[in-house]
Structure 1
Amino acid sequence: MRIRGTTAAEIAGSVRDQVASGELAPRAVLPPVRALAAELGVNRNTVALAYRRLVEAGVAETRGRGGTVIAAVPRLAREGVGAGGDWVDLASGNPDPELLPDILAAAARGGRYRQPLYGVPAVDAGLAEWASADFAEDIEQPFRTLVAHGAVDATERLLNAHLTRGDTVAIEDPCFLASIGTLRLNGYRSAPVQVDAAGMRPDALRAALEDGARAVVCTPRAHNPTGASLTEERVADIRAVLADHPQVLVIEDDHFSAVSARPYHRITPPATARWALVRSVSKFLGPDLRLALVAADAETTVRLEARLSAGTTWVSLLLQHIARELLLDPGVHELHERAREAYAHRSGLLVDRLHAHGIEVPYRPDGLNVWVELDVDGRSAVEALAQRGWAVRPGHLFVRDPSTHQGAIRVTSSTISEPQAEAFAAELAAVVAELRTTGS
């Protein structure tokens, strides 16, 4: 390694050139600031500024006493990873395929589909009309509606529209896997906000905002992984906190909207200048549609629209056509009613069977998953369950600090049957008893 330069820009450029050429590989440790300054004959503040610019650009990262190292693409856990083989899959986080509508049948409805060309409106008019009416039931402020490539895409674009690398984002703890990945890949810092049965805790949110968080990403209901939903009382407390920080971007990810068993309560107060409500269709129309509806304030809409240019990167109008046909179909509405009842029944069934075997889940979750806190090591429990033919996710994947939820597991209940719920609860109780005996 031969770093050159006498200014911060030259030193940072030299490092970037060596990273680009492969001379500096990911995780390579850069020289200590004092040592490099002495070697180059410059002030140590010059090297410190160069390193800071490299970190801000995502080229390097600081590791405290471990020094400054060349950044690598982070290895991220992802959703939808099932068990495969002969295991019973309670790990994937997927909706029940039997409760999703027929996408191909919808594609053929609505008359002859004409291929759109460059320059057409980026949002299907019929879909925009439906979405605007849907959002208007919950939003009192003026808003515009856009379409993004799913909730994760919408959240990433919204953050990038208002924030820069190094900014802090308040997120739930535990948190949706994709949100963790979005923050890490874009160089944002995370401020974990603890979640309980009623959702985000206001005291923890206030602490994160007072510590400098510039955005909040919140799941108002069917929180993944815990299944918690915000109560009306909790929302009033959160709105009071956010009202004291009107400059903060507020993003609500209402991913389970059409099939949630809980009402939507809006956390965004009138004083908030920049906000967005995101409703994906993945959980109730199908993950492969890759489509989310976004309502936002005027300025945020302009910024998001610039990142969803009608000229080159609009969301496929064929997908929008399909989504519109499905959302307007009374038969699909009936399917959503069945899905809402089925998911609530299945998660409740699992909670009841766990209770019968001495494992408590302190509230009725909403959504596709049940979060179970254990008094034994969660990873050991996952491994022991796998040996017995059951696949679940360890809780440490969903948190920034694994020590805060060492005993947690996430169990996907979306397709669980009554015999499976009973068998799994009995197996988990046996595993917990064994691990208590061994001290794991």
Structure 2
Amino acid sequence: MTLPITGRSAAEIAASVRALIERGELTPGDALPPVRQLADSLSVNRNTAVSAYRQLTQAGMVVTRGRGGTRVADRSPVAQEGFAAESVLRDVATGNPDPEHIPNPSRALAGVAGRPVLYGEPVIDRELESWASGWMRADLAPAEVRLTITSGAADAVDRLLAQALVRDDAVALEDPCFLTTIHTVRVGGYRPVPVPVDDEGMTVAGLRAALEQGVRAVICTPRAQNPTGASLGEQRASELREVLAEYPYVLVIEDDHFSMLSRTPFRSVIGPEHKRWALVRSVSKFLGPDMCLAVAASDPDTAERLAMRLTPGTTWVSHLLQRLALSLLTDESVAADIANAAQHYAERNGAFAARLSALGVPATAGDGLNLWVALPVPARDVSEQLMRRGWLARTGDEFSLGAVPTDHRLRLTVHDLSELDADRLAADIAAAVRAAGGRLVPAEVK
């Protein structure tokens, strides 16, 4: 079919294609004519057609797929973290921290008012910066480190990518990947390049392949990777650093979202000579999702660019919030609460994995809030069976970028279940596997 694309200039051609998309004559996934064919049909220079497609790409209307050509972008929604809206089922797919283990900020709130903060003042509160400097620098190899503040880890990643990339730039993402990261990259109009994750985190071969494809940024979770719970060992981290050393100007973003709750050491992939990098640590997992605050440590140039996007106004982070976070983070009783929460998550996830294994669904608990459970049958079949039993779980394909099979995986958030409910869910998962045609091998008879 010949598309009714018209125009003599790049702007006119781009506007014509956009109109076709808006009228529904072009739908997500539809292919546009090759550049040379379009130029010939409109009797324009090939560079004019290239420029038109570039404008559409930067506007997020189309995506380029190399030999796969240029296609209309898919704007369908992606899955998000949190409770499922309007569900009557017991939700074990939330990815939320346990509200019983989020410190109460009431006492700290009374002491954070202080003097007013005015336009032109530093983006990051000086006292918070002083405290956070030790928290961040202890785990970083580069000598020059600058700190800034953002409204959470997702905000930091979004701004870090925006200050370094343009639409359709390639970004290396872990596969399977954190839902919020997938959403951030997709909304930004960047092109995700999957890097497989195994039991030790991002794979060396996968990262090398992504870099050879020309990615301009890498997003890595060194520990408590979501959804797998994997954490980098020292050897894996060292091997990843060696690969990245060959690409010093590729932006490397480390998202250490679980930080204070993690049961494993932090091992960075950022080498001492890397030029463009950032380590991001939010407080949402241990102080609560409503504490929208993250500290970003980075090289000086990246820090300067990031700070420019956080000038006083609607984009900066409230100094009241910063003072509240500092008050909590330096309170010994809150530190004890965070340590107890870390133990709680580890013990509850471990206990549930043991329940599943005893019933014939082998499972191990990684680091983090969730369990990543392998099944002998498709997860969709098990999920449907669980819904009939009153449970809502997430299937692995929601986290997939396509490089690693995840269709036999469930991600479960079980740390806030009572003992009775945990027993019931484990039994229902085993029953769901049997109903879907799976074979159970209880741990004691292996």
TM-score (norm 1): 0.91
Change (3 A) 1:387 1:65: farther
Change (3 A) 1:341 1:143: same
Change (3 A) 1:437 1:371: closer
What aligned pairs does 1:119-268 form with structure 2 within 5 A after superposition?
Answer: 119-140=120-141, 141-268=143-270
Identity %: 48
Change (3 A) 1:121 1:65: closer
Moved more, 275-284 or 190-199: 190-199
Question: Distance between the aligned counterparts of 1:15 and 1:437, measured in 2?
Answer: 49
Question: Distance between the aligned counterparts of 1:375 and 1:61, measured in 2?
Answer: 36
Deviation at 1:103, TM superposition (A): 2.5
Out of 342, 350, 353, the residue aligned to residue 351 of structure 1 is 353
Q: Is the Cα contact below 8 Å between 1:26 and 1:71 reproduced in 2?
A: no
Moved more, 334-343 or 24-33: 24-33
Establish whether residue 324 from structure 1 lines up as the match of residue 326 from structure 2.
Answer: yes
Deviation at 1:223, TM superposition (A): 1.0
Q: Give per-residue Cα distances to partners, 1:291-333, cap 9 Å, x unaligned.
A: 1011111011011011111355210111111111111111100
Q: Is the Cα contact below 8 Å between 2:196 and 2:404 reproduced in 1?
A: no
Deviation at 1:9, TM superposition (A): 3.5
Question: Distance between the aligned counterparts of 1:213 and 1:44, measured in 2?
Answer: 26
TM-score (norm 2): 0.89
Q: Is the Cα contact below 8 Å between 1:124 and 1:320 reproduced in 2?
A: yes
Q: Which amino acid aligns with 2:187?
A: L
Question: Distance between the aligned counterparts of 2:309 and 2:289, measured in 1?
Answer: 22
Question: Distance between the aligned counterparts of 1:14 and 1:124, measured in 2?
Answer: 49
2:443 corresponding residue in structure 1: none
Deviation at 1:420, TM superposition (A): 2.7
Q: Is the Cα contact below 8 Å between 1:74 and 1:184 reproduced in 2?
A: no
Q: Is the Cα contact below 8 Å between 1:4 and 1:14 reproduced in 2?
A: yes
Q: Which amino acid aligns with 2:352?
A: L
What aligned pairs does 1:31-430 form with structure 2 within 5 A after superposition?
Answer: 32=33, 40-42=42-44, 46-47=48-49, 49-61=51-63, 70-71=72-73, 73-82=75-84, 87-110=89-112, 112-140=113-141, 141-310=143-312, 313-361=315-363, 363-401=364-402, 404-430=405-431
2:27 corresponding residue in structure 1: 27
Change (3 A) 1:121 1:31: closer
Change (3 A) 1:190 1:430: same
Change (3 A) 1:70 1:234: closer
Change (3 A) 1:79 1:31: closer
Q: Is the Cα contact below 8 Å between 2:120 and 2:312 reproduced in 1?
A: yes
Question: Distance between the aligned counterparts of 1:43 and 1:251, measured in 2?
Answer: 40
Question: Distance between the aligned counterparts of 1:224 and 1:384, measured in 2?
Answer: 24
Q: Is the Cα contact below 8 Å between 2:229 and 2:372 reproduced in 1?
A: yes
SS at 1:61 equivalent: strand
SS at 1:404 equivalent: coil
Question: Distance between the aligned counterparts of 2:165 and 2:77, measured in 1?
Answer: 23
Q: Is the Cα contact below 8 Å between 2:176 and 2:404 reproduced in 1?
A: no
Moved more, 276-285 or 85-94: 85-94
Q: Is the Cα contact below 8 Å between 2:374 and 2:409 reproduced in 1?
A: yes
Deviation at 1:188, TM superposition (A): 1.1
Question: Distance between the aligned counterparts of 2:85 and 2:31, measured in 1?
Answer: 40
Change (3 A) 1:71 1:173: closer
Question: Distance between the aligned counterparts of 2:125 and 2:418, measured in 1?
Answer: 39
Q: Give per-residue Cα distances to partners, 1:10-50, cap 9 Å, x unaligned.
A: 3124444x379x55677275864577656634466744552
Moved more, 76-85 or 197-206: 76-85
Q: Is the Cα contact below 8 Å between 1:90 and 1:390 reproduced in 2?
A: yes
Change (3 A) 1:117 1:48: closer
Deviation at 1:349, TM superposition (A): 0.6
Question: Distance between the aligned counterparts of 2:312 and 2:247, measured in 1?
Answer: 33
Deviation at 1:278, TM superposition (A): 0.3
Question: Distance between the aligned counterparts of 1:56 and 1:197, measured in 2?
Answer: 36
Q: Is the Cα contact below 8 Å between 2:262 and 2:342 reproduced in 1?
A: yes
Moved more, 112-121 or 197-206: 112-121
| Unaligned 5+ runs, structure 1 | none
Deviation at 1:416, TM superposition (A): 2.8
Q: Give per-residue Cα distances to partners, 1:102-145, cap 9 Å, x unaligned.
A: 134321124x4333222222211111111111112212322111
Deviation at 1:100, TM superposition (A): 0.5
Change (3 A) 1:14 1:324: same
SS at 2:347 equivalent: helix
Deviation at 1:230, TM superposition (A): 1.1
Change (3 A) 1:37 1:274: closer
Q: Which amino acid aligns with 2:335?
A: H
Moved more, 231-240 or 62-71: 62-71
How many residue pairs are counted as aligned between the two chains? 434
SS at 1:252 equivalent: strand
Change (3 A) 1:48 1:147: closer
Q: Give per-residue Cα distances to partners, 1:159-209, cap 9 Å, x unaligned.
A: 111112111111111000011111111111111111111111111111111
Superposed CA RMSD in Å reads 2.6
Change (3 A) 1:249 1:38: closer
SS at 1:382 equivalent: helix
Change (3 A) 1:386 1:223: same
Change (3 A) 1:19 1:100: farther
Deviation at 1:85, TM superposition (A): 5.6
Change (3 A) 1:70 1:209: closer
Deviation at 1:227, TM superposition (A): 1.0
Q: Which amino acid aligns with 1:289?
A: M
Deviation at 1:66, TM superposition (A): 9.7
Deviation at 1:65, TM superposition (A): 11
